[in-house]
Structure 1
Amino acid sequence: MNRLHAARHLDLGAQALPPGLAFAGDAQDLEEMLGNLLDNACRHARSAVEVQASREGGQLVISVDDDGPGIPEAQRARVLQRGVRLEVLARADAGGLRARLLLPAAG
């Protein structure tokens, strides 16, 4: 994403992953889902995008936050219609959008 959005000079940050955190699925599927979320966040961010991952029970939870304008709550349901795995859209702490993927965790 740094190369793809280099002209925007975004601060792209990621929290250190907890040990043993892994996706119980195909790596290419994860890369596609996460790539789409990151690309959208980078396109709409004003200056920063932050990625966090954790395990909640048997699920891998990946959050992508940006500091852009966000999506009005009334329009969020429409955005979710095409995605099957995107579970949560909310307001990010930075004021933009927080998108959360809830996926099966390995192990």
Structure 2
Amino acid sequence: MDNKNEINKSTDLVEIVGIQLKEAGMPVKGRIDVDDVYCKGCELCASVCPQKVIHMAPDRITAKGFHPAELMKEGCTGCGVCAVMCPEAAITVYRETQAARAAAGA
């Protein structure tokens, strides 16, 4: 496996997902939950996040001795690229839909 090709593929995926979200009029509000049991701190999620809002938690260490991923600031769009890239399936992505936003405001 060639890491350079993998990075290019993931960059292409980020661009494709970003375009699809913009064209579909998707909301810009999302969040992630990272299961510390599975996260091995590989940083793949942080490297592909188009919003650059994921980092490894500097103040937490998992039972396996890794710094787990976490959101470091607002701005997650819920695009799901991080979850697709996670080799351990440790990330669950939640996206607020426009219908839910409208219902909350009604």
Q: Whose radius of gyration is greater, 1 or 2?
A: 2
Superposed pair shares fold, TM > 0.5: no
Structure richer in helix, relative to its length: 2
TM-score (norm 2): 0.31
Higher relative contact order (CA 8 A, sep 6+): 2
TM-score (norm 1): 0.30
